[in-house]
């Protein structure tokens, strides 16, 4: 199976551990990810805030490149996925002039939903060497991956299940909670710190109240927000994993503590007490 892969800017910088775990997991699953050649930024929040036309045009360049390859596209980043889908929508409506030849007919997958399809779950279950059955976690989705449902195609946008299903397949106990799709503040924390922190803290607090030992996410920005807010060495740590890191941990007999060295909240002590890391 081959798919075109659009990593997005975050995966080159802040989330390059996510990129590495994706590589490892897809190699293990036997799915080939072909990175789009010379991809460019999707424009993110800034483009649609200041210049709506650009928010449709910028992702279209990557869609055009994927169409040239003739492969369906998969995006690990929630924002990129949202913008690609939005652009596809706009291309079909022919509202904006796109300077690249593009029809918008390929399928754009979000990585979690792609892996949460029943055949993929079966494949994941076959590959598991080390079930993570002693961990209790909550899954956090954020906004851009699930909302607006018209664009993302999620029907269960109030209680999304994709990461839940993947994490449950690794054997970990998934706790149900009600802050799955509440906003973490995204990039507002850069310019208005107090707003960003108040939102992220609430999510962290609610996650801890459920009794979860870790949070599993799929969005690079959510991960850095939830992780970096715990940088002040407080007594209690709740590690924030990417779901692919979780899969990678269960796919290999002996995990490597180096995989997690980019985290602010060191998950190694937790994993060691659970006997999941030597």
Partner 1 sequence: MQNVISDPDQAHEHDSGEERKLIGDRGYYFLNRMQGETGVNISACYQCERCTNACPVSHFMDIKPHQTIRYVQLGWREDLLKSSTIWICLSCEMCSTYCPNEVDVAEIINHLRNMAAHSSITPKERSLAVFHQTFLEVLQKSGRVNEFRLMNAYYSKPGILKERVKQGILVEDLLLGMTLLRKGRLKLFTPKSRAIKEIKKVYSQKRGEIV
Question: The tokens of 79 are what?
Answer: 């924002």
Helix or strand or coil: residue 34?
strand
Q: Is 264 in the site for partner 1 (CB under 8 A)?
A: yes
Q: Judged by CB, which is closer to partner 1: 161, or 187?
A: 187
Integer Cα distance of 133 and 182 in angstroms: 27
Integer Cα distance of 76 and 60 in angstroms: 17
| Residue labelled with tokens 């507002």 | 188
Integer Cα distance of 102 and 92 in angstroms: 10
Q: Is 268 in the site for partner 1 (CB under 8 A)?
A: no
Find all residues with CB under 8 Å of 128, minimum gap 6, and list them.
169, 170, 171, 250, 251
Q: Is 175 in the site for partner 1 (CB under 8 A)?
A: no
CB 152 to partner 1: min, Å: 9
Q: Judged by CB, which is closer to partner 1: 47, or 247?
A: 47
Q: Is 30 in the site for partner 1 (CB under 8 A)?
A: no
Task: Give residues 99-118 in contact with partner 1 (rule: CB under 8 A).
Answer: 99-100
Q: How would you list the strands of the sheet with 73-75, edge to edge? A: 32-35, 2-5, 73-75, 108-110
Measure the CA angle with vertex 85, ends 81 and 90; round to 5°.
145
Q: Is 58 in the site for partner 1 (CB under 8 A)?
A: yes
Pick the piece of the chain touching partner 1 (CB under 8 A) from 27-35, 56-64, 236-244, 267-275.
56-64
Q: Is 257 in the site for partner 1 (CB under 8 A)?
A: no
Q: Judged by CB, which is closer to partner 1: 9, or 69?
A: 9
Q: Is 176 in the site for partner 1 (CB under 8 A)?
A: no
Q: Judged by CB, which is closer to partner 1: 39, or 177?
A: 39
Q: Is 161 in the site for partner 1 (CB under 8 A)?
A: no
Pick the piece of the chain touching partner 1 (CB under 8 A) from 116-124, 133-141, 146-154, 248-256.
146-154
Q: Is 12 in the site for partner 1 (CB under 8 A)?
A: yes
Report how far apart the first and last C-alpha atoms of the chain are (Å, whole number): 34
Integer Cα distance of 55 and 165 in angstroms: 32
Helix or strand or coil: residue 240?
strand
Q: Which residues bind partner 1 (CB under 8 A)?
A: 9, 12-17, 38-41, 43-54, 57-58, 61, 97, 99-100, 143-144, 147-149, 157, 182-183, 185-188, 190-193, 195, 199, 224, 228, 231, 261-262, 264
């Amino acid at each position: 199976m081959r798919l075109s892969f659009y990593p997005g800017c975050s995966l080159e910088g802040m989330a390059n551990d996510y990129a590495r775990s994706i590589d490892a997991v897809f190699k293990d699953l036997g799915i080939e990810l072909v990175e789009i050649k010379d991809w460019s930024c999707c424009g993110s929040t800034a483009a649609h805030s200041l210049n709506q036309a650009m928010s449709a045009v910028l992702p279209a360049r990557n869609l055009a490149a994927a169409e040239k390859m003739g492969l369906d596209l998969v995006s690990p980043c929630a924002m990129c996925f949202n913008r690609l889908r939005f652009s596809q929508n706009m291309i079909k409506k022919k509202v904006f002039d796109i300077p690249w030849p593009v029809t918008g007919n390929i399928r754009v997958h979000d990585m979690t939903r792609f892996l949460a399809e029943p055949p993929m779950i079966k494949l994941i279950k076959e590959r598991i060497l080390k079930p993570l059955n002693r961990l209790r976690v909550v899954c956090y989705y954020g906004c851009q991956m699930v909302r607006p449902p018209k664009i993302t195609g999620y029907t269960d946008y109030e209680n999304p299940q994709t990461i839940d299903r993947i994490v449950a397949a690794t054997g970990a106990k998934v706790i149900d909670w009600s802050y799955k799709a509440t906003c973490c503040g995204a990039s507002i924390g850069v310019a208005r710190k107090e707003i960003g922190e108040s939102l992220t803290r609430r999510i962290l607090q609610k996650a801890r109240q459920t009794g979860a030992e870790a949070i599993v996410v799929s969005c690079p920005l959510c991960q850095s927000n939830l992780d970096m807010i715990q940088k002040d060495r407080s007594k209690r740590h709740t590690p924030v994993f990417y779901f692919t890191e979780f899969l990678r941990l269960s796919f290999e007999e002996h995990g490597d503590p180096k995989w997690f060295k980019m985290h602010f909240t060191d998950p190694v002590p937790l994993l060691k007490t659970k006997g999941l890391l030597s």
